[in-house]
Amino acid sequence: MQQALLEVHNLTKIFPGIRALDDVHLSVRSGEVHALIGENGAGKSTLVKILTGVYFPTKGSLELDGKEISFKNAIDAQEAGIVAIHQEASMFPELSVTENIYMGHHLRNPKTNKLDWKAMTENTRTLLSQMQLDIDPDTLVKNLSVAKRHMVEITKALSLDAKLVIMDEPTSALTGREVEDLFRIVRDLKEKGKAILFISHKFDEIFEICDYYTVLRDGQYIGEGKVADSDEDAIINMMIGRSIDQMYPEHTTFQGEKILEVKGLSQLGAFKNISFDLHKGEILGFFGLVGAGRTEVVRTIFGIDKASEGTMRIEGKPYNPKTPRDAMRHGIALVPEDRQKQGLVLKMSLTRNISLPILNTLCWRGFITKKKCEQSYVTKHGGQMEIKAAGYHVDAETLSGGNQQKVVLAKWIGTEPKILILDEPTKGIDVATKAAVHEFVCEMASRGVAVILISSELPEVIGMADRVLVMHEGFQTGFVDRKDLTAELVMRYAIKNVQSEDSHA
């Protein structure tokens, strides 16, 4: 086997409270396409950020071409020959293709020391034609399709004479035709002797284009191998194959009457044909990998976005929410994914945050007349969640992530929801708080609340949910009942590509 271009040894990255990468290995050779595989939160993004000089590793070494390297910043990494093409292209839409490609490494005329736009445009034209791309170097990037922007990013990598090109979910926004174009270019790069680190959730793509793979799980290196020597089952097992070491609280599984019925719910560009029933007292898990469209579905149920098709019924009556207030009136509560951006008003006190959804019950004609009630309400529900803070008068921004999440939960219990939707409620919080959240969810269910639990952590979904709805790229790919609930089955649905089987999609 030829010598590796990039060698990563014992790489560890610790963030306050979290071990994002733990002793990770990776070796990529020139002229190969190497798949980096793992669930959400497995540590792929952190690894990429270290490789591109955005983060500095806590421990471990990087070797490029046999020489040990360390990057102080992103420009260092670029100059060393590692270029990442990001999920959401980081481009300047108001500038031309040439300007974008040469941003940060402009060519200068050696005599006058002025920017040499003529040379840059010509070089761009050559690079684009080498890639058989029909793009005019003077076009503004904002006028290009998403696919072509990707191509321009790749061209930029070539102009930098990159040795290793990192592609993070490059096909997520592309159509079938465009994916083929991309793969043609990837093969082209491979022939030119470039190494490509390919991050994807789509197994059919990995099997089509990649030569080797490395699997990460929970920030740890699990294994690597030749794609041709493995199959889906083996890789899935590596992705999920862990004992569910965490204890999940037991909750008596009973299914009460049907409360929410969703039929054929669709939203253009986000999700398609989602159908399920939700019963009182059950926990319905929503699982999927990044970009599966789970958040979009619950936002629609909560009246933030509008559905383009489909019907919803609550307790048998048609339900058509136009605003979150409509949803709240029907007894729905949504604990959003990003507690800092969507869950809390950080500059407001805990008291005011917690009482915000129920302010109308404390008011008489718009005047807050029941301040005493407010205080006791806040103390009661805050106490229930065991929020640790200097008092309820402190601003929400002073709390730790876990305690902030408790405030968000406290805020919603008091509304006495009939349907409680939790979007990634344990993301980025400590183990103790995690357990408290799990307990809280089970308690709500045993009180007869219907719970929808979105989670990207497979063990959490398996441990908590009665039934699991699995999505992939906006499609509902599976529905698993408690009795059939295994990690393998759920993961199999989560990577199932409906689009390629569905000719009309």
Please give the residues from 244 up to 303 whose contact with other proteins meets the rule CB under 8 A.
Answer: 302
Please, which residue, 128 or 408, has the CB nearer to other proteins? 408
Q: Among 39-47, 216-224, 281-289, 359-367, which window interacts with other proteins (CB under 8 A)? A: 359-367
The residue among 419, 468, 469, 459 whose CA lies nearest residue 438 is 459
What angle, 0 to 180 degrees and rounded to 10, lies between the N-to-C axes of helices 176-191 and 146-159?
10
Please give the residues from 363 up to 382 whose contact with other proteins meets the rule CB under 8 A.
Answer: 363, 366-369, 371, 375, 379, 382
CB of 323 to other proteins, least distance (A): 7
User: What is the distance between the alpha carbons of residues 404 and 437, in angstroms, rounded to a whole number?
Assistant: 12
Site string for other proteins, 402-431 (x = CB under 8 A): ---------x--------------------
CB of 437 to other proteins, least distance (A): 18
The residue among 344, 302, 341 whose CA lies nearest residue 325 is 302
Q: Does position 359 bind other proteins by CB under 8 A?
A: yes
In sequence order, what are the beta bridge partners of 313?
261, 318
Please, which residue, 182 or 332, has the CB nearer to other proteins? 332
Sign of CA dihedral 127, 172, 219, 492: negative
CB of 360 to other proteins, least distance (A): 7
Please, which residue, 217 or 434, has the CB nearer to other proteins? 434
Q: What are the angstrom distances between the C-alpha of 320 and each of 276, 301, 323, 370?
A: 16, 9, 9, 32
Q: Does position 320 bind other proteins by CB under 8 A?
A: no
3-state SS, residue 57: coil
User: What is the distance between the alpha carbons of residues 272 and 253, in angstroms, rounded to a whole number?
Assistant: 29
CB of 84 to other proteins, least distance (A): 27
CB of 401 to other proteins, least distance (A): 8
Residues 24 and 43: beta-carbon distance below 8 Å: yes
Q: Does position 398 bind other proteins by CB under 8 A?
A: yes
Site string for other proteins, 161-180 (x = CB under 8 A): --------------------
Q: Among 98-106, 187-195, 386-394, 477-485, which window interacts with other proteins (CB under 8 A)? A: 386-394
Q: Does position 393 bind other proteins by CB under 8 A?
A: yes
236: Cβ contacts below 8 Å, ≥ 6 apart: 488, 491, 492, 495
Position among 331, 336, 417, 425 found at the interface with other proteins (CB under 8 A): 336
Site string for other proteins, 1-30 (x = CB under 8 A): ---------------x--------------
Give me 127's structure tokens: 């690079």
Q: Contacts with other proteins: how many residues (CB under 8 A)?
A: 45
Task: Find the farthest-apart pair of alpha carbons in the chain and give their distance in angstroms, rounded.
Answer: 81
Q: Does position 51 bind other proteins by CB under 8 A?
A: no
User: What is the distance between the alpha carbons of residues 473 and 264, in angstroms, rounded to a whole number?
Assistant: 16
Q: What are the angstrom distances between the C-alpha of 82 and each of 219, 315, 390, 434, 458?
A: 22, 56, 47, 37, 32
The residue among 466, 455, 416, 415 whose CA lies nearest residue 298 is 455
CB of 366 to other proteins, least distance (A): 5
DSSP state of 341: I
Residues that bind other proteins (CB under 8 A): 16, 302, 304, 323-325, 327-328, 334, 336, 341-348, 352, 356-357, 359-360, 362-363, 366-369, 371, 375, 379, 382-383, 387, 389-393, 397-398, 400-401, 411
